[in-house]
Amino acid sequence: METYYNPADLAKFGNITEWQAEAGRKFFDYYGEVFKDGALTEREKSLIALAVAHAVQCPYCIDAYTTDSLQKGADEAQMMEAVHVAAAIKGGAVLVHGVQMMNKAKELSM
């Protein structure tokens, strides 16, 4: 079945350098640097990436960072809590606009 997202394309991510080598290379160097053990551990970074992957709804990233989180030793509860963090922020971002809606409604109402 043909779909917009093909799991096999994830392995071809590096090919983006074929059409713009310098920018692509700089991106991947940066990417590698970002995920190194630092003030945050590799596992913590992987869980953040997993949460962001859900927030941006990137199927490639969800596959990649589910695998990566498992490899880094995260357990299922930690992974689901990361997804809830993403959901809370996404949900909160919607709801906090409710204040704007209230402000406007009050402005227009008697």
Residues 24, 58, 59, 72: which binds another protein (CB under 8 A)? 72
Around 94, how many Cα atoms within 13 Å sit in the side-chain half-sphere? 6
Q: Which range, of 15-23, 54-62, 73-81, 87-95, touches another protein by CB under 8 A?
A: 73-81
Residue type, 97: H
Closer residue to another protein, CB minimum distance, 17 or 42: 42
Closer CB to another protein, 45 or 54, in the complex:
45
- Alpha carbon of 54 to those of 1, 30, 65, 87: distances in Å? 24, 22, 10, 8
Strand, helix or coil for residue 59: helix
Q: Where does this chain bind another protein (CB under 8 A)?
A: 11, 37, 41-43, 67-68, 70-73, 75-76
